[in-house]
Structure 1
Amino acid sequence: MRYFHKLKQQFHCPVINVEKLWTLVSEEAKTSCPKGKAVVIDCVKNGYFKVLGGGELPDQPLVVKAKVFSKDAEKKIKAVGGACVLVA
């Protein structure tokens, strides 16, 4: 199927898997956060718009901000006590 005058910036959507989310957190945030508190990860600020469900998460709750979440990613984040926040 042909797509005339395709503007690629409309389809730009870098992805990240759930297992790679902890690489976006600084070392001081990992160590200074108490066991029961949640770490906030802003994927859009780091250049990722979509979170996919590949891999496993540690048992620490986290709040993930992104534009799009897959069903598996949302299920895995909520299973460890975290939250998914949609950002425009």
Structure 2
Amino acid sequence: MPTRFSKTRKHRGHVSAGKGRIGKHRKHPGGRGLAGGQHQNTTMVTLLWTLVPAETREAYLAGQKKDTAPVLDLLPLGYSKVLGKGRLPEIPIVVRARYVSKLAEKKITEAGGVVELVA
């Protein structure tokens, strides 16, 4: 593209060239490259049963289904780690997650459930 057609030509003579007040157009506000990105979406043990569909949850909590346990795959739901805060009902549940804290694993197994680590 020829220089005469570039948008910066229209900004000549104007101090900030459309970038706000002086000094506001920062160099690398988010860092460079793959900087950041250390956040993992987590959920707590207390909230696991809220992620089970309502009709299925009611059947298990009422004691109608005792021969099977619900399988809760957290990755499609947007969670990658389970933390151990809160309490679980004494009903088995199978939890599939990428990461599980020690306390969360202990609480799930004490309730009769199983933890499956998924890559």
Shorter-chain TM-score: which interval?
0.7 to 0.9
CA distance in 2, matches of 1:36, 1:72: 26
Q: Quote the RMSD (CA, aligned, Å).
A: 1.8
Aligned to 1:8: 36
Larger Rg: 2
Matched positions, count: 85
More RCO (CA 8 Å, sep 6+): 1
Identity among equivalent positions (%) equals 44
Aligned to 1:50: 81
Partner AA of 2:70 in structure 1: V
Aligned to 2:44: 17
Task: Give me the TM-score of the superposition, normalised by structure 2.
Answer: 0.64
Unaligned stretches of 5+ in structure 2?
1-30
> CA offset at residue 29 of structure 1?
1.3
Larger relative strand fraction: 1
The list of structure 1 runs, each at least 4 consecutive aligned residues, that deviate by more than 6 angstroms after superposition, is none
Unaligned stretches of 5+ in structure 1?
none
Task: Give me the TM-score of the superposition, normalised by structure 1.
Answer: 0.85
